[in-house]
Structure 1
Amino acid sequence: MKTILRFNLLLLFVSTSVFSNTIKVKGHITCGNEHIPFANVSINDGQKGVYSDDHGHFLIELEEGKTYTFLISVVGYKDMIKEFKPTRSNHDIHFNLSKDYLELNEVIVSSSRRSQSRQETSSVVNVVGSDFLIKNNFKVVAEGLNYIPGTRVESTCGNCGSSQLRLNGLEGPYTQILIDSRPLFNGLVGVYGLEQIPVAMIDQIEVVRGGGSVLYGANAIGGTVNIITKSPQFNSYEVGTNFGTIDGKSHDYSAYFNTSLVSKNDKTSSYIYGSYRNRDAWNANPNDIYYRLDEDGNTIGEPIKDDFSELTAMKTLSLGTKVYHQFSEYNKVSMDVKYTHDKRRGGNKLDQPKEEADITEAIDMHIGTAMLNHDWYSKSNKLHLNNYFSGQYVHRDSYYGAHQQKDGFGLTTGKTIVAGSQLNINLGNVLNGRSYFVTGVEYINDQINDKKLSYFDEELGKVTDDATVSDQISNTYAVFAQNEWMSNRWSVLIGARWDFVDIVDNQNQQNNKSVNSINPRINLKYKLNDNMQLRGGFATGFRAPQMFSEDLHIEVTSGQGVRTQLDPNLKPESSISYNLAWDFDKTFGHVQTYFLIEGFYTKIKDRFDNQYDYLEDGTLILFKRNSTSDAVVQGVNLEGRIAPNEKLSFQAAYTVQTSMYEEENQWGDEETSTSKHILRTPNQYGSLSADYNITSQWSVSMTGVYTGSMYVPYLPGGFIDGELTTDEELIDTEQFFDMGIKVSYLTKLSKSANIQIGAGVKNIFNQMQSTFVSGIDKDAAFVYGPITPRMFYIDLRIGNLLN
């Protein structure tokens, strides 16, 4: 019996070995005589994948006689695409890559919702990788975005630390921010979100300027920022810490870890990360003085030294994991779970209860996010179906108040659900070119409930009721489709998206709105020769009239009842945008160069305009209507990169633009406070960076951000140089150049781990706004220029893949 059993097992082994239709393909990745470790091997647009080992080899099972498309990508080398049909006699494949010092060939997904080389895209896409973020000591996403042409991050409140991202001069609400291509940034999270995403979880950031509503929905008028999180690659780990100080008293400390685990059969893998940041508050003008005011607005008492923060105290904890499992060659699933706790406080008397300070703006925010993806591929490799479901829950306790108000406490909750399905079809050769069709449906549910909490009113002798500021539900139903055709010289992308947005205001049924919007997109690319190409695009966009605005808390801190009201004839904002770009990529001997010139034009019609009014009972009405003046933003983005060799590289970007209303627009309370300028938008701004690898162990990096002059509104109520200000004023600001430098040393810690030690300075010349305001009633939004003053820092990184 045992003999028969052994014979059957031997027969089974022989039959599966001889007659199996799968073959183990051996791969070898080099650059000349150099082996390339840890290269990403993607097969059939992500259907299968593996990474090369530390010697540049990989092993993967594929079906015999079937044609596969291999895409090899690794930082510092040009991507290589090769088709391969494995057979019993031909199962070895070799890839010899070329150096790419300027990293121009990244694989991106934001341009057309499918993976492709950045140089293949029909629209201009800029990419910031994790290496650049970590190398320059950036802790969060916001710090790295200033180094992309046409992109600028600014602080919008000195008390709460909110910020916004501007693309091509347009304000934050006109930029669609995505996480792994999902629109999870609602109005509640958006103003803080870019400072809540740690670098530890980032693979790369992709930016597409100009209208992009065709693929990603509302708010993509200025452009789209897609934050791609890291995926498990191979067994690896990294831990790091950073300590910075501004003046020896205000410190900024952070620590992080990440690890990637991959099973032996490469079917299951996970990426786990965590980060913690603790930043002290900082006061820019501690020697300035202010006075208290009586009921008539006259100064009383002795002068008081300023103790209000310009940099908000902040504690942020982030934890997350991403898990992949491949059931077969044609089915795989991934799950992503994140948790963020963000606690920040600005104002004065930070060691006392919030309601006992003269000014306090504080949030305590918990954010939980879960994302589920399923990918199915057809056996012919022509079809790729992606089904996705994402959810986010936000719980935020807040206090916004002045003059020791007892009624400044608030509670805001937000729920966001994104679900959809997308089908990618490879149509093969059509009219002597390759054709790809993408279509899909998407559903977005966004719920926000915002209220001021009850408190005990000593004068009334009773507890007041909660006051609802906003209670809204928004449902978006969308269908999109596009086709991209590519020949040797031409690329043509044509698409459209239909959105139906249904908005329900549970606080005021008169605010209920339904909006239909169809937005087309056309992009063309023409390859002039092997080194030059032209890209042009046209797109429309829209923005639905949401009632909730986080900016409301900055403008309203007195705790009175607030009601939102929409104009019965309110229309959605709409936009039309054009762009034309020329880029040049050529290697002269060993010197690699890249240059880009991009012109852009965006016109926005029916801009939302907020007007404030008071009812007899003291209730504040926020009335949202359409402005009678359209806005036009136009200009030129310039970018240049040069790498004389693999040790040295330079990158620079510069934008020249105008941002104007077609008619005078009121920005303050007074009728004479009008301007045609879109405020807080400089007409010129740019950035530069340089990297020099002195030796294999020593390296130095330098960064700089230039911000030109701009018009910034100042509202009265605070003290400047000890004098009470009583007039509204439009300030023409000074120019700024925020420069930083870092030196790093890398060495072996053990056989399987390296250690890197770095030290540097941010904002070397301490470029800050020249005028700061003091006093309890100061204008918190009067902030401009660099966010962080001069800071000295040291950092430490330990990992098995540091190089």
Structure 2
Amino acid sequence: MTTTLILCLTTFCWLHVAAQQRGTISGKVVSEAGAPLEFVNVGLEGTTLGSVTDKNGRFRIEKVPQGKYKVQASMVGFKTESKDIVLSAAVSINFTMQETTQALDEVVVVSGTMKEVSKLESPVPVEVYSKKFFKANPTPSVFESLQNVNGVRPQINCNVCNTGDIHINGLEGPYTMVLIDGMPIVSGLSTVYGLTGIPQSLIERVEVVKGPASTLYGSEAVGGLINIITKKPATAPRFSADVFGTTWGEVNTDLGLRYSLSEKTNGLLGVNYFNYQNPIDNNNDGFTDVTLQNRISIFNKLDFNRKSNKTFSLAGRYVYEDRWGGEMDWDKQYRGGNEVYGESIYTSRWEVLGTYQLPVSEIINLQISANGHNQNSVYGDTKYLADQYIGFGQLTWNKP
């Protein structure tokens, strides 16, 4: 009898203690304006316990073991909020959540309107490919990297000299415009020979517009446009290097360096070097399978800090390339002759571009660019010598 009584009392005490070890967390979640937020996820970090707010912004989490917890409130479009609590029996906490731009809205694009706007506000659909995309797909040039973009097809038009252009939505290369920092640098002769040598270490992102963009950019953009946005000197890494090789003997080097000329002038220097000097004929047709290339490209960009906080930047690029393809026993002594067939192309190219924002209350941008393209090429005993100079300027007034 006595033993049974003791067991009952012990069981009662254990149940009483267990009931005291669990509690309830409740509260309300509102926006900065004080409006209740529905469908906010409220949970205890490190556990599976949680709840969702109702239409009045209220939540309730029951049967929570006593102890210390971090309570988090999260919802798409708002910053995640958290609070530390010590739960005994019941705790009431409230959250005020700050609205934030969504991931898509944080991306700033310029290709659709010739000015920086958020991707969601762009009237033209723009696809954005970040620098991480190019790091995940290392290639010697931007031309080859774009083959991984849906709807964009780099096409090799010559199997001997391995030159090509970029097709968008099936249209020919002349209908695809390539820009650097919003400026139509790559045009004319450079649509074939100017898409290589852009240092990938300096690329911040690439914007692709598929379909007619000729309203803003002219007839060359009927098929679409590719806008290569370079990094800003103020936010670029101080030094970056990317070196890789292939089993065929290709070697590619990308170097980036950020520097300061003065307190008000920041610079960004990029160098790309590509070398391939290993003739291979795997299909035994007597011709090189891949064109031999020796190319160097130097890019420099300067940003000037003005008292008015208006934009002022200058950039320049120089590219020199020596490439040849043809019969396996071709040598430079046969260049321009018909004894041994070979296609040899010397390319020397310079580019300058700049953006200047006028010191007025309105947003008025002056953009200029110029480039010179010198090409000395022979196809067997046929010579093709070309000099091309292009200048471009535009004044845009962004009036709300």
**Which residue of structure 1 aligns with residue 240 of structure 2?**
238
Amino acid at match of 1:347: G
Q: Is the 8 Å Cα contact of residues 330 and 340 (structure 2) preserved in structure 1?
A: no
In structure 2, how many angstroms separate the alpha carbons of the residues matched to 1:182 and 1:98? 28
Change (3 A) 1:136 1:153: same
2-side partners of 1:257 and 1:313: how far apart? 22
TM-score normalised by L of structure 2: 0.70
Q: Distance in 2 between matches of 1:376 and 1:125?
A: 28
- Residue 419 of structure 1 aligns with which residue? 393
Task: Name the structure with the higher strand share.
Answer: 1
Aligned equivalents of 1:171 and 1:243: distance in 2?
A: 31
2:330 aligns with 350
Task: Determine the C-alpha separation between the residues in 1 that align with 2:373 and 2:385.
Answer: 11
- Aligned pairs (5 A) from 1:489-500: none
- Structure 2 contact 78–99 (Cα < 8 Å) conserved: no
- Partners of 2:130 and 2:376 in 1: how far apart? 34
Residue of structure 1 in register with 2:302 after alignment: 323
| Partner deviation per Cα, 1:538-589 (whole Å, 9 max, x = no partner) | xxxxxxxxxxxxxxxxxxxxxxxxxxxxxxxxxxxxxxxxxxxxxxxxxxxx
Give CA-to-partner distance per residue, 1:353-398, whole Å, 9 cap, x none: 222653211111110111122113544xxx2111122111111111
Offset, 1:108: 0.8
1:359–1:79: structure 2 CA closer, same or farther, 3 Å change rule? farther
Corresponding letter in the other structure for 1:243 = G
Matched residue type, 1:217: G
**Matching of residue 393 in structure 1 with residue 368 in structure 2:** no
Contact 1:125 1:208 in 2 (8 A): yes
C-alpha distance in structure 2 between counterparts of 1:218 and 1:368, whole Å: 24
Once residues 262 and 97 of structure 1 are traced to their aligned partners in structure 2, the CA distance between those partners, rounded to angstroms, is 34
CA distance in 1, matches of 2:120, 2:278: 44
Contact 1:167 1:209 in 2 (8 A): yes
Partner of 1:140: 141
- Identity within the alignment, %: 27
For residue 343 of structure 2, what is the amino acid of its counterpart? E
Structure 2: gaps of 5 or more residues: 1-75, 80-97
* Match of residue 307 from structure 1: 286
Please report the RMSD computed on the Cα atoms of aligned residues, expressed in angstroms.
Answer: 2.7
Aligned to 1:278: 275
Q: Following TM superposition, by how much is the alpha carbon of 1:200 offset from its aligned partner in structure 2, in angstroms?
A: 2.4
Query: In the alignment, does 2:341 pair up with 1:359?
Result: yes
Between the aligned partners of 2:330 and 2:204, the Cα distance in structure 1 is 36
Q: Structure 1 residues 150, 410: closer, same or farther in 2, change over 3 A?
A: closer
Match of 2:251 in 1: 253
Distance 1:78 1:192, change over 3 A: farther
Structure 1 residue 201 displacement after superposition: 2.9
1:282 to partner: Cα distance: 4.8
Q: Match of 1:350, as an amino acid? A: W
More helix, by proportion: 2
Q: Secondary structure at the match of 1:145?
A: helix
Q: Give the structure 1 partner of residue 131 of structure 2.
A: 130
Q: In structure 2, do the counterparts of structure 1 residues 78 and 281 end up closer, same or farther at CA, with 3 Å as the change threshold?
A: farther
CA–CA distance in structure 1, aligned partners of residues 315 and 135 of structure 2: 23
Q: 1:238 to 1:330 in 2, by over 3 A?
A: closer
Amino acid at match of 1:149: N
1:261 and 1:199, CA in 2 relative to 1: closer, same or farther beyond 3 A?
A: same
Who is 2:94 aligned against? none
> Cα gap change, 1:124/1:262 in structure 2, threshold over 3 Å: closer, same or farther?
same
Question: C-alpha separation between the residues in 1 aligned to 2:283 and 2:222?
Answer: 41
Structure 2 CA distance for partners of 1:128 and 1:281, relative to 1, 3 Å: farther
Distance 1:169 1:227 in 2: 21
**Residue equivalent to 2:352:** 370
- Which has the bigger relative contact order, CA under 8 A and spacing at least 6? 1
Q: Give the 3 Å change call, closer, same or farther, for CA 395–78 of structure 1 in structure 2.
A: farther
SS of match in other structure, 1:232: coil
Whole-Å Cα distance in 2 between the matches of residues 229 and 97 of structure 1? 26
**Secondary structure at 1:154's aligned position in 2?**
strand
In 2, are the aligned partners of 1:337 and 1:370 still within 8 Å (CA)?
yes
How many residue pairs match? The answer is 304
SS of the equivalent of 1:196 reads: coil
| TM value normalised by structure 1 | 0.36
How far apart are 1:310 and its partner, in Å? 2.5
Runs of 4+ in 1 over 6 A off after TM superposition: 77-80, 95-99
- Maintained 8 Å contact 1:330/1:376: no
Residue 54 of structure 1 corresponds to none
Distance 1:261 1:78, change over 3 A: farther
Q: How does 1:202-221 map to 2 (within 5 A)?
A: 202-221=203-222
Letter in 2 for 1:269: N
* Further displaced range: 207-216 or 357-366: 357-366
Corresponding position of 1:736: none
Could you tell me how far apart the structure 2 residues matched to 1:358 and 1:127 are?
46
Structure 2 counterparts to residues 33-432 of structure 1, below 5 A: 105-234=106-235, 236-245=238-247, 250-262=248-260, 267-280=264-277, 282-287=279-284, 306-348=285-327, 349-353=329-333, 354=335, 355=337, 358-376=340-358, 378-379=360-361, 383-401=362-380, 405=381, 408-426=382-400
Structure 1 CA distance for aligned equivalents of residues 321 and 359 of structure 2: 39
Match of 1:707?
Answer: none
Q: Relative to structure 1, is the Cα distance of residues 79 and 130 closer, same or farther in structure 2, using a 3 angstrom cutoff?
A: farther
**How far apart are the structure 2 equivalents of 1:256 and 1:147?**
20
Q: How far did residue 226 of structure 1 move?
A: 1.1
**Does structure 2 conserve the Cα–Cα contact (< 8 Å) formed by 1:272 and 1:321?**
yes
From the superposition, tell whether residues 78 and 164 of structure 1 become closer, same or farther in structure 2 (CA, over 3 Å). Answer: farther
Whichever residue aligns with residue 358 of structure 2, its letter is W
Q: Helix, strand or coil for the counterpart of 1:321?
A: strand
CA shift digits 1:74-117 (9 cap, x unpaired): xxx9999xxxxxxxxxxxxxx997895xx784211001111122
| Ranges in structure 1 where 5+ consecutive residues have no aligned partner | 1-76, 81-94, 288-305, 427-803
State the structure with more CA Rg. Answer: 2
